[in-house]
Structure 1
């Protein structure tokens, strides 16, 4: 079976829309519909009930949705394992990364990797940490780089690569800075955090709770860079990695007030990584080794 048909099916099933799926896959909607019809002809059952612009997965589709990721993973693993028998580092490397890691931490290593392993076709997907976590578990991604969750799934290997120092920050002229003890007045000012039920939000809430901080009004924004911009407009206070701390933002907390944020690589414990993935893991491990010997 053509695994592209299965990947197309999974995208439609996840987004519940032919239009959105076609946009994400960068193909025309008629071409996408043709793939789904071809897959339905192969399995002999209708996979979607079409209602206007939205679709619902049928019972047959639900069964395929459960098993397709493993089918895709098995086929891709077999092909890659055959290629890896030569010991050559080549083929396709598809990884997911959070926006923060992809923008601020990965580039220097990615450039080195591309120069060293020119025969590897690297595809990077910028996605939220919790979605990347799910897609590594399902086999859709071999590797992902993300903020570690509070509860780690034992089916995944978690290799620490980076530790981020965090600080409570606001604009230098924000009213909070005029308080005699700003850290005791945080609940009286709006806080801007990542959306609920995301790994960074869970981490930040735990950090604040451990520090004895009570939250008042909470606003949300999707990315730390956006949150930094909003705080720079005096919209509230937040937690940020210290690498994003630049004028007009100032830190209200000491280095000991909050714990570090752990970030790194995840991959399945029951899967042998391809040569291309192994080399990326080795390269990123040097970041962790270098960090261990730097003054904190």
Structure 2
């Protein structure tokens, strides 16, 4: 195996096949034909002297050699991207492509004004969006698939990543007003037992938001049984408004017909912000966009 035989195009095709799960999806992402992607993978396999994928019908499964090559392939492509960004950033001009991963909630409720300002102030910044759950967005940053993730921040990040808080949500119990008609008085001890007997609609177990919800409920001795789970807070609100159970949602998502009973000692907050890879070049476009987001105002939403 000779290093000079390696092709950047081959490595890019390889990573795209792994990330998108098939040769056809990788071809679409790279704006190539599927035979072109196949040829690049075959050439890379010949250089390595080992097969990288097992193809079974439409399914493509990475082999052991692929799992060994993948981290180094990502690193090579990331370093080349850093070189390109460094060269592009030599002047004072602010522009270029900025790849963003964002949750649907942040995109709907936090970004509209910032995006309008970005378009007006930095017309040469080209924003590319991928909509991912917070955990998946942070993982995309770790893999250097995106430049920046806007996400619910976990308690801990991998050492290579850095983050900043932009907004803070205060969450509360929400349920359809009709459910409260036969409930004990919210100030009575029996109300906690009544709540625990109701189905709950919560974010997925293990997600950053769910961790904060479970921790806060545990502190006051309340256990809610999740009948339904969804990573989309707007879906939880729809199900809650339909009377299907108790939701735990940001106060900003309150709506007519939804009651928000206050329980003594219950305090649920979560931080929303940006996450990026600390080892890669931070472009002027990226820093400008983060500063612009900060101008929308940090602080506690209540």
TM-score bucket (shorter structure): 0.7 to 0.9
Q: Do residues 71 (structure 1) and 79 (structure 2) align? A: no
User: Which residue of the partner structure matches residue 149 of structure 1?
Assistant: 154
Q: Do residues 89 (structure 1) and 108 (structure 2) align? A: no
RMSD: 2.7
Distance in 2 separating the partners of 1:218 and 1:54: 33
User: Which residue of the partner structure matches residue 279 of structure 1?
Assistant: 288
More displaced stretch, 159-168 vs 200-209: 200-209
Q: Given that residues 85 and 281 in structure 2 are in contact (C-alpha distance below 8 angstroms), is that contact kept between their aligned partners in structure 1?
A: no
State the Cα distance separating 1:46 from its structure 2 match. 2.0
State the Cα distance separating 1:164 from its structure 2 match. 0.9
Q: Deviations over 1:141-162 (max 9, x none)?
A: 2211100112233332221100
Cα distance change, pair 20–184 in 1 and its aligned pair in 2 (3 A): farther
User: Which residue of the partner structure matches residue 185 of structure 1?
Assistant: 194
Q: Given that residues 200 and 246 in structure 2 are in contact (C-alpha distance below 8 angstroms), is that contact kept between their aligned partners in structure 1?
A: yes
User: Which residue of the partner structure matches residue 3 of structure 2?
Assistant: none
Q: Do residues 253 (structure 1) and 253 (structure 2) align? A: no
Q: Given that residues 189 and 217 in structure 1 are in contact (C-alpha distance below 8 angstroms), is that contact kept between their aligned partners in structure 2?
A: no
Cα distance change, pair 239–6 in 1 and its aligned pair in 2 (3 A): farther
State the Cα distance separating 1:177 from its structure 2 match. 6.3
Cα distance change, pair 250–113 in 1 and its aligned pair in 2 (3 A): same
Cα distance change, pair 110–172 in 1 and its aligned pair in 2 (3 A): same
Q: Which of the pair has more CA radius of gyration? A: 2
How is 1:88-237 mapped onto 2 (pairs within 5 angstroms)? 88-175=93-180, 178-181=183-186, 182-237=191-246
State the Cα distance separating 1:197 from its structure 2 match. 2.5
Distance in 1 separating the partners of 2:204 and 2:158: 22
Distance in 1 separating the partners of 2:8 and 2:38: 16
TM-score (norm 1): 0.87
User: Which residue of the partner structure matches residue 51 of structure 1?
Assistant: 56
Unaligned runs of 5+ in 1: none
Distance in 2 separating the partners of 1:28 and 1:145: 32
TM-score (norm 2): 0.86
> How many pairs were matched up?
293
Unaligned runs of 5+ in 2: 1-5
